[in-house]
Amino acid sequence: MSTDLRINGKTHQVDLPDDVPLLWVLRDEVGLTGTKFGCGVAACGACTVHIDGEAVRSCQVALSDVWGEVTTIEGLGTPDAMAAIQQAWVEHQVAQCGYCQSGQIMQAASLLAETPAPSDAEIDEAMQGNLCRCGTYPRIRAAIHSAAQKMQEA
């Protein structure tokens, strides 16, 4: 079935079965490989994207269930102007292996859109579904606080 998807500000026409997970549409059909496959059961957060600003696990959203515009890590900022959260990730040297980081950043961006100055507890709660095998959780929290401050100053 042919479906039009709005992804990162552009419309993409895809001709795939309705039950194909959004993750595979993004990676295999559209060529946006920043969204990672982790577990396939929405337990790790590596595949996190936004649909109409809401952080969702793309491995568990069927093509037919996409309800609005999709934003991936590639659409969050630009090579010339990273989003504040991406800048904070670099400044705090969050990434080690880096595999989970696009999902971490997308979840953090959603948190900051809803809660501009989150507490440690709010960060921990929002980020609990995003796993980092390298254990950079303290750096993730620090980067979120930094991004929040930068966003409030802007």
* Ramachandran class of 53: left when φ > 0, alpha when ψ lies in -120 to 50, beta otherwise: left
pLDDT of residue 1: 74
Q: What is the pTM of this model?
A: 0.95
pLDDT (tens digit, 9 = 90+) per residue, 136-147? 999 999 999 999
Q: Pick the closest to residue 107 from 18, 35, 41 (CA basis).
A: 35
Domains of the chain: 2-76 (3.10.20.30), 84-153 (1.10.150.120)
- Is pLDDT above 90 for 5? yes
- Is pLDDT above 80 for 82? yes
pLDDT (tens digit, 9 = 90+) per residue, 84-122? 999 999 999 999 999 999 999 999 999 999 999 999 999
> What gap in Å lies between CA 102 and CA 72, rounded to an integer?
8
> What gap in Å lies between CA 121 and CA 129, rounded to an integer?
14
Which tokens sit at 110? 């959603």
